[in-house]
Chains A and B, each alone.
Chain A
Amino acid sequence: MSRSRLLKGRLDALATNWMGHRFRLPKDRLVALAADWGLLILLSYCVYFLINYWYRALVWVKPSYQVPFPGYAYVLTVTLTFLLAVTWENVGTSIGWKGVGLVHSDGRGHPLGLGRRGARIVIDLVSWVLTALGTAIAALPLAGLGAYIHGLASGQGLTVLPGAILWSPGGWLATSVLAIVLLAALAVAALVCWWIARRLWSFLWPGRKGSTPWADRAAGSTVCRPSDLDLGGRPRRWWQTSWGLMTLLLVAVTVYVGALTTQVSVGTLIRRASSTGYFWQRLFSPDFANFLRPDPDLNDTMLNGIIQTIFMSLMATALGVVFAFPLSFLGARNMVTKTRLGWGVYTLMRAFFNIGRSIEPFVMAVFFGVLVGYGPFAGVLALFIHTIAALGKLYSEQIESIDPGPVEAITAGGGRRIQVLRYGVMPQVIPPFLAFTLYRWDINVRMATIIGIVGGGGIGRFFNYYKNELRYHEVGAVIVIITVVVWVMDYISGRVRERIT
């Protein structure tokens, strides 16, 4: 079957399923379920945390006491929250469904009645429990294998499963037959489990004639956009809906648990502030003696430190641009995704950009310090990697948002691919690229000032040293220098960027 016919079959099935609407419903429903499930897991964590906290607060136990939470409790929590999420989506409009913009409907544009929702709940729950049971049974051989490997690893040899089969009273033949029958039963269980899941999720893999999930079929329900629903009156206010109340509860509980976890306490702040006067006094009377005179302990002046910092950021930015520029074209969807290979390259580049940005330069500086020795070079390398990723992403997004017109015009005039890049794309992206680069340099200066704290050289080295030596007059001076330099760079880069774009 050709690809287009397959596609067509899929679309037709969707159309018959969903009142002729061709939404991305399967994906939306999955995303919504995942979101609801995740939120309920978050809620259950908070509940467990609070039980622990209150138990310790009300019943006198030692502060490290934990209410027991064995391994199977994790499995139970994950399973129960899933079933709860499924039920929630059937009872009312869950946060996930609200988020992706879906509601249940009876297929004629009216909301689903209570009875039909009840039917949905029963069928969904029963089939999910069956699926879970089937999965558990089908996973038994894995458990057996695990026990076997565990037995081998712990030096008990063949004492567990295979041993039991070989030396059982019925003899090896009867045992083998039994084992085969057992395995067959397990396979059947797995198949049944798969079959149930298939019927539950049939909106994901519509058959040739199109198929409807069991719960939808039994309740005669379907899903649609809220705007397609005739509510027969005023829609409910947010506090009258399940998603609204749930959001309120989640926010309240999360903030409460968050405050407890991070030990936020206004009392501590006030109590401690009054007893650290000497520290503030020194910090606010900065000592600039070492600005021009080399510090005997560090063998360098603060001026050299800040200059080194600025050069670190300059090198990291310059080197970063050299790599980010070509890579950004490979990471721009409209440049490479004409072929399958192009999609691969695009995905790879995007992954690199995203991962590269999510690792903080401080963390990288520690690793590069091990690699090339602690000092400015390690700092430059750390900033360099981060700059490639950050600029690559900014650049490629800029390339993706160009006006496709000139590209089309130059292609139509018989230009080569490289000429299209040079005359259709580059003139459009170079000015914004310059602006992004300046912006990045600005960020790099800011990061380079503190990267010395983890051994990256520059002014950060002074900060770290003085802080450890409790020389707070000098710490104050370093803070003033950093603030002034960052502010000046920020101001200049802002003004220049205004000019460019």
Chain B
Amino acid sequence: MAEPQLVIEHVTKVYERGDVLALRDVSLTVNRGEFVVLIGLSGSGKSTLLRCINRLIEPTSGRILLSGVDVTAAKGQELRSIRRRIGMVFQHFNLVKRSSVLRNVLAGRLGYAPPLPTLVGRFPREDVARARQSLETVGLVEKIYTRADQLSGGQQQRVGIARALMQEPELILADEPVSALDPATANSILQYLEQMNRELGVTVVCALHFLSLARRYGTRIIALKDGAVVFEGLPHEIDNVRFKEIYGEDAEEVEVR
């Protein structure tokens, strides 16, 4: 089962404008079917690392392999076909607020759909059917023609997940998907991710703030601090000492159920 799907080798990222070292020589391996949770303080490099994986951010040096293919060397069509295999779920959902739910979900299919018809807003019939199906999966099919900004936060994030589902992803990157949501909704969103992970076998790499959520959903936890990996192991291995190492001396754990 331990088949490496995502291999990150010595990735470093420097933001020149602010002269900030965001990632320091990060090396990781994620196996197929894992639910890896990234934890760490704000600014520890979680978001940067996730965005380096699908090249929304260019790593300064290092190499990233997805199923043996070098992501960092890909260009143009090759990069796009890698990206469409990687679903992404965002902290602020990143939906087009003025567009309908259907339109937002269909946007996830742009990597597959024929480019010219999509420019005038036409999608293949099977894509629309697939969108309906994805919305059923997240239980929002009755909101299909609603404008995205009329949904609650949790519903918007479910649309975000449905959009990621449209890509038939083999890997999902979730960038603090529940930070903008209340605890009850947070659990339900993470359950959708867990469901995709278990039932569809999609590998998930998810950045989270709360350790309790990380313990509950992660099969493995990786902690970042100041852009470097400071812990890598099973959820129950994070004890009080490790916790202070990751979050600093003054931190206290907050429970989210």
Contact = CB atoms under 8 A, between A and B. Distances in A.
Q: Do A and B come from one complex?
A: yes
Interface of A: 4, 7-8, 11, 403, 405-406, 408-416, 418-419, 422-424, 427-428, 431
Interface in B76-116: 80-88, 90, 92-99, 103, 107-112, 115
Given A405-B93, A406-B95, A414 B83 contact: yes
B134 interface: no
A427 B99 CA distance: 7
A409 B119 contact: no
Given A409-B163, A422-B119, A416 B80 contact: yes
B2 interface: no
A409 B90 contact: yes
Given A413-B111, A414-B112, A427-B103, 10 more contacts: A405-B93, A406-B96, A410-B110, A412-B56, A413-B87, A413-B109, A414-B80, A414-B83, A415-B107, A423-B96
Contacts of B80: 414-416
Contact of A413 (B14, B92, B163): B163
A127 to B, nearest CB: 32
The 9 closest A-B pairs by CB, nearest first: A414-B111, A414-B84, A405-B94, A414-B83, A409-B94, A415-B110, A412-B88, A414-B80, A406-B96
A419 B115 contact: yes
Interface of B: 14, 16, 19, 54, 56, 80-88, 90, 92-99, 103, 107-112, 115, 118-119, 160, 163-164, 166-167, 173
Contact of A4 (B16, B83, B103): B16
Contact of A424 (B16, B84, B96, B112): B96
Contacts of A8: 19
Contacts of B92: 405
Nearest to B60: A4
Contacts of B98: 427-428, 431
A103 B111 CA distance: 55
Interface hub of A4, A413, A418, A423 (most chain B Cβ within 10 A): A413
A423 B107 contact: yes
Contacts of B88: 409, 412-413
Contact of A412 (B19, B86, B93, B109): B86
B84 A413 contact: yes
Interface hub of B54, B56, B87, B110 (most chain A Cβ within 10 A): B110
Contacts of A412: 54, 56, 83, 86, 88, 173
14 contacts: A405-B92, A405-B93, A405-B95, A406-B95, A409-B94, A409-B163, A413-B110, A414-B84, A416-B80, A418-B119, A419-B110, A423-B103, A423-B107, A428-B96
Nearest to B87: A413
B173 to A, nearest CB: 8
B151 to A, nearest CB: 15
Contacts of A409: 88, 90, 94-95, 107, 160, 163
Contacts of A410: 107, 110
